[in-house]
């Protein structure tokens, strides 16, 4: 009886150490959800949507640079996004996806006033605001978002970009360079934006790798944030 009890205890103890060893291994190798802020405007993980404006609303990134390649318009991006974008564009070109280039990068609060007004005038408030954010609510103001296109393939800032060689390659490969397609098809009820296959957002390769592994494509869902279809 004693022998049996001791045997059972040994089994429990052994199991316990296996369990704690595996918990420890997960903690060491696992994804650290606290490594960046979700609210600081200069964080690679900042979550900006219709319920979460930039703080301050007139935020200007301190690290804007003008990529020299794949950037016909001399547009600016925040340095980490610019470095990652160059790797992405070079890889896309090497893979035969064409010259994936910047159609829109960093936009200031003031510039966003004009972009928002233009889309609302063109499409009306409801459809216009599914495309263009109000100033202070745009990812483009972080310098981490890029609207891309391949000039020889057309479909600039249009849903048909998804059917171009560049659009298809981007959908499969953007995560390898730390970018997500921020507003995937059907994500409007969560993100508040229509399908924008051209709008990629830099969040860093640690996060995109985790999202990819878990099969989650929408930032709000990954972080368990409330849906933000409206302001």
- The DSSP bridge partners found for residue 98 are none
Rounded distance between C-alpha atoms, residue 32 and residue 22, angstroms = 16
Among 103, 199, 217, 218, binds Zn ion (CB under 5 A): 199
Residue 155's region, left for phi above 0, alpha for psi from -120 to 50, else beta, is: left
Rounded distance between C-alpha atoms, residue 53 and residue 125, angstroms = 19
Q: Does 147 bind Zn ion (CB under 5 A)?
A: yes
Cα angle, residue 37 at apex, residues 105 and 53 outer, rounded to 5°? 55
Q: Which is nearer to Zn ion, 147 or 220 (CB)?
A: 147
Q: How far is the CB of 147 from Zn ion (least distance, A)?
A: 4
Q: How far is the CB of 119 from Zn ion (least distance, A)?
A: 11
Q: How far is the CB of 35 from Zn ion (least distance, A)?
A: 26
Rounded distance between C-alpha atoms, residue 173 and residue 179, angstroms = 9
Q: Which is nearer to Zn ion, 29 or 115 (CB)?
A: 115
- Span near Zn ion by CB under 5 A; candidates 51-59, 70-78, 194-202, 203-211: 194-202
Q: Which is nearer to Zn ion, 129 or 147 (CB)?
A: 147
- Span near Zn ion by CB under 5 A; candidates 17-25, 48-56, 74-82, 140-148: 140-148
Give residues 88-117 in contact with Zn ion (rule: CB under 5 A).
Answer: none
Neighbour-count burial for 6-16, b at 16+ CB within 10 Å, e otherwise: eeeeeeeeeee
Rounded distance between C-alpha atoms, residue 107 and residue 60, angstroms = 9
Q: Does 129 bind Zn ion (CB under 5 A)?
A: no
Q: How many residues bind Zn ion (CB under 5 A)?
A: 2
- The DSSP bridge partners found for residue 64 are 78
Binding site for Zn ion (CB under 5 A): 147, 199
């Amino acid at each position: 009886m004693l022998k049996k009890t001791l045997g059972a205890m040994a089994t429990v103890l052994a199991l316990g150490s296996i369990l704690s060893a595996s918990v420890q291994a997960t903690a060491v190798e696992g994804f650290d959800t606290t490594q960046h802020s979700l609210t600081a405007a200069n964080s690679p993980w900042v979550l900006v949507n219709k319920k979460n404006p930039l703080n301050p609303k007139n935020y200007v990134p301190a690290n804007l640079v003008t990529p020299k390649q794949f950037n016909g318009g001399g547009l600016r991006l925040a340095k980490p996004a610019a470095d990652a974008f160059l790797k992405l564009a070079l890889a896309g070109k090497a893979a035969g996806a064409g010259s994936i280039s910047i159609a829109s990068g960093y936009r200031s609060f003031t510039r966003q006033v004009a972009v928002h007004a233009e889309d609302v005038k063109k499409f009306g408030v409801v459809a216009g605001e599914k495309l263009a954010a109000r100033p202070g609510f745009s990812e483009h103001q972080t310098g981490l978002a890029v609207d891309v296109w391949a000039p020889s393939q057309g479909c600039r800032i249009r849903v048909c970009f998804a059917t171009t060689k560049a659009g298809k390659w981007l959908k499969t490969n953007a995560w390898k360079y730390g970018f997500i397609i921020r507003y995937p098809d059907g994500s409007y009820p969560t993100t508040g934006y229509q399908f924008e296959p051209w709008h990629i957002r830099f969040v860093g390769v640690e996060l995109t790798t985790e999202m990819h592994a878990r099969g989650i494509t929408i930032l709000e869902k990954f972080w368990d944030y409330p849906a933000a279809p409206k302001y």
